[in-house]
Each structure stands twice: as structure tokens, then as C-alpha cells.
Amino acid sequence: MGERLCALLADHLDLELAAALERPSHPALGQEVAPGVKLGGDAAEALAAADLAIVFANPLGTLALLRLAAERGVPCVVGTTGLAASQRAEIVALAKRIPIVFSANFSVSVNVLFHLAREAARLLGPEFHAEIFELHHAGKVDAPSGTALRIAEAIAEGRGAEPRLVLAREGETGARPAGAIGVVALRGGDNPGEHTALFIGQGERLELTHRSATRDHFARGALVAASWLAGQPPGLYDMERVLGLSARA
């Protein structure tokens, strides 16, 4: 994602690469990634050079960077998934000090999918059972994907209920619980990401699907979020808010 962000940055004349950060043991440290910008491993040094940060990292690295950013007043765009509930709660707390756009997926069309899934759940009602499946490359370390979980949240929002997730079925499971949202994760190959929300009724079903062929649309969306975030007050924002699909902060 860092490489794609750097490659696509030229499309945003209001943004300029000030620093690039990787883990301290990364083999490419010290290499020039843009004129006058070398890949570094010091988060404090990187934030000192930046007006805004975009973060795609593991949960521990993300939170360490966000704490420093909050101390220095640097707004952040965060695309990290696989966060525990306590880690998400800390991001909510840090957003009281700096503006943060936090999204499971920065693709514009995926965020339209969130919006459509919410509306479908609202319009179809609980009589249509909701199931989600997602497919990602073999190297993805978290499951289900953050995007799949966000689709489930959107469906629950459309129903006006808390998400009731079913992440595994095996043996004699009994009848399907009322309000359940099943989520199935598949892994293999080099697939950047595929998600389908199914609304299954009696004798019919509606399917909403998004398939990714590259990671560029994730990077483009993160850069759109960065442009939008500049000048915003402290708060936790999502990509739907950035795109004008939701009034939620």
C-alpha cells in the first residue's frame, strides 16, 4: 500500500510526500522513495516532517504511531484492520485530540457497497437472511476481513440492531438464529479482495458483490480521504462521511 500511495500521489496536487515510514528492521531503509525523501524507521522523525499521516500497518504499529500523532497534533488516515475491541476504543479516544479518518476499506465503490448493504437491509427487513463471504490472498493475516465485518455492521445498522455475527458453522448447529449475519472467509492465491453480501428470502435472493483486481483503488481512496481531512476538527470520521454518503462523524 505504501508503494501504491507513493506512485499515485502525483494525481493530488494538494498533497506532497514529506516522509515514508517502515518498521525499523525493513531491508529497504535508507532508500530514496521520492526526490529528497528516504524510507525511514523513526516515527517521531517522520511525523515531525509531516502535516498529515496515512497509516497502513499492523495494529500495534498503528497505535504507536497514532499516539505520537496525537501528541504532535498530526491528523491521520488509518486503513489498518484486525484491531481488537480495546484497540478500536483507543483510536476513538485519540480522535478526541486529532481528526482521524478510520475505515476498513478506502475504495470508493466498496464504500458505496456499505451504503447499499445498509439500505438493502432496511428495505428488505429481517425476513431476508443476511450472509457475507469474502476472498483474499493467501498472505492475509486476519479473518474475517475488516471490510466483511464493516458490511455486517452496515447491515445491522440498516436493521436498527446490534450485529449478531456467526463466524463458523459445524456439526448440529440448530436452526438459524433470528437476526444472525453469517460471515465466511476464504483464502488463496493473490486475490486483492472480493466481498459479497447476500440477502436470502423465500424463493429469491439479492447479491451485492465487489471484486478487486488491483490495490490502486484502495490507495486512491486513502489519498482522497487525506485531502478531505486537512482542516477538519478533531473527531473520528469514516470513508462514507468523506464521500458524502453518511452524515455520521
Q: Is 12 marked active-site?
A: no
Q: In the 8-state DSSP scheme, what is residue 170?
A: -
Q: Is 96 marked active-site?
A: no
Instruction: Name the phi and psi angles at 57, rounded to 5.
Output: -155, -175
Q: Say whether 159 sits in a helix, a strand or coil.
A: helix
Instruction: Name the phi and psi angles at 61, rounded to 5.
Output: -65, -40
The one catalytic residue among 12, 96, 115, 136? 136
From CA 194, how far away is CA 192, in angstroms rounded? 7
The one catalytic residue among 12, 129, 137, 140? 140
Sign of the torsion angle spanned by Cα atoms 167, 169, 170, 171: positive
Q: 223, 238, 213: which is closest to 146 by C-alpha?
A: 238
> What is the residue type of 7?
A
Cβ atoms 214, 143 nearer than 8 A: no
Residues marked as catalytic: 136, 140
